[in-house]
Structure 1
Amino acid sequence: MKQLFYLLLLATVIMSCSNQKFAVRANNDHLMVNTLNQTYQIVIGQSEAKLSEETERAIQDEVENQMEARGFVRTSKSPDIVVVCSVFETKLKIKDSRKLEEDKSEYTTRRITLNGGTLMIQMIDENLNKSVWLGMASGFIKPNKSIEERELKAITRSIFDEYKLVAYGYMPKQEMTATR
């Protein structure tokens, strides 16, 4: 198990040293609450960019890995959470709402401009009938330059690093340690 940890750490260090730079952002979960959500469905939203089948599959595979790691089960009938993934090639202007301080209820809203090449992942809670989380990585798609599947999966994974909820009733498996 320690070897796996060190391999993952090494992979993270190597990827962080690459010349591919991108920025990851997420709203700070101001609408997220632990509800009875246990199921999800992935939807590739209307993207500005025409995505290849390989690109769509890489995004979907990593979203599936990340949701299942949080205890969610994929379903095609009446999901609790709909995960919408979209890619935008050009600059994007959006409103960004953030809590000023974690223990206060005040929010600030500002307009931000994202660099071209943005992968946006939005969680829609079907029970609440509203968007509850938005994460994005920008600046990774360059004109006339393809992106490798492993890079796209790493970018998707980095967005999910900001998603803190797990499925209702899910208890992550803890590594057993020997006591002396």
Structure 2
Amino acid sequence: MKSFLPFLAGCTLVLSGCLASREARVESDYSFAGQFRRYRTYEFINGEGLASDTSHLGEAVRDAIRTRMKVQGYKPARRRPDLLVNFRLFEGDMRFRGYQQPDFTRWIKTGYVEDEETPTDQRQGYSPVRMLLSEGTLLVTLIDNQTNRAVWNGYASGVSVPPGPQGEVVLRRSVRSIFDQYHVFTEGYLQSNGE
């Protein structure tokens, strides 16, 4: 009976974490100028709020992002990284401008990248969509370090972060859900790991 109680408590913690993150709305948008096949390294931006937070919650988010970046072939780099990673947890409802775009995975497969030399009639154009993101939004932004422009945003709204270890579980699951929208492996990474 004694060994059953910790098991039951663990199951309850996991189930409540699943329920809290299951309600989250997860979406992403990207820049048509993003050179996603070129990026291989990353570094976190130091800032205010959760991004600079050294608490367990801030570290849980950074650790979950590091794990996903590693799985997809990205390496951390302090000197001149290709991507800068920023994240922020917003409390309350917020209005957000996203974009209606072609599926990100299909876009990446085309290999097409817009730049200053792309003729106007061949540019994709952005179709803004206004959204109301519900209570608690975790936003992860990838920034091209060379151009200093955001190339990808992933966000989960409706993320309610309870105190304690359960909050870390919810944030890690939210990061995983967000990065499920980012289907980019570094060039040659899958071939080198498949051998």
TM range (shorter): 0.7 to 0.9
The gaps in structure 2 that reach 5 residues or longer are 1-13, 108-122
- Label 1:41 to 1:159 Cα distance change in 2 as closer, same or farther (>3 A): same
Q: Post-superposition shift, 1:34?
A: 3.0
2:42 to 40, 43, 49: 40
Q: Whole-Å Cα distance in 1 between the matches of residues 52 and 82 of structure 2? A: 28
Task: Write out per-residue CA displacement over residues 13-59 of structure 1, whole angstroms, 9 at most, x where no aligned residue.
Answer: x8699432211110156443334221100235433899561001100
What TM-score comes out, normalization by structure 2 length? 0.69
Q: Whole-Å Cα distance in 2 between the matches of residues 16 and 29 of structure 1? A: 35
- Bigger-Rg structure (1/2): 2
Q: Which amino acid aligns with 1:91?
A: D
Q: Post-superposition shift, 1:165?
A: 1.7
**Structure 1 equivalent of residue 5 of structure 2:** none
**Structure 2 equivalent of residue 137 of structure 1:** 156
Contact 1:40–1:72 (CA<8 Å) still a contact in 2? Answer: yes
Report matched runs for 1:93-132 at 5 Å: 93-99=95-101, 105-132=124-151
SS in 1 for 2:35: coil
Task: Write out per-residue CA displacement over residues 101-149 of structure 1, whole angstroms, 9 at most, x where no aligned residue.
Answer: 878935421211111211100000112321100000111126xx42432
**Structure 2 equivalent of residue 6 of structure 1:** none
1:66 to 55, 68, 72: 68
Q: Which amino acid aligns with 1:61?
A: D
Identical counterparts, % of pairs: 25
- Label 1:127 to 1:116 Cα distance change in 2 as closer, same or farther (>3 A): same
Root-mean-square deviation (Å)? 3.0
Contact 2:50–2:87 (CA<8 Å) still a contact in 1? Answer: no
- Label 1:59 to 1:126 Cα distance change in 2 as closer, same or farther (>3 A): same
Q: Post-superposition shift, 1:97?
A: 1.3
Q: Post-superposition shift, 1:92?
A: 1.4
Q: Which amino acid aligns with 1:92?
A: M
Contact 1:123–1:131 (CA<8 Å) still a contact in 2? Answer: yes
Q: Which amino acid aligns with 1:42?
A: F
Q: Which amino acid aligns with 1:38?
A: R
Contact 2:46–2:52 (CA<8 Å) still a contact in 1? Answer: no
Q: How many residues align?
A: 160
Return the structure number with greater helix share: 2
Q: Whole-Å Cα distance in 2 between the matches of residues 62 and 17 of structure 1? A: 15
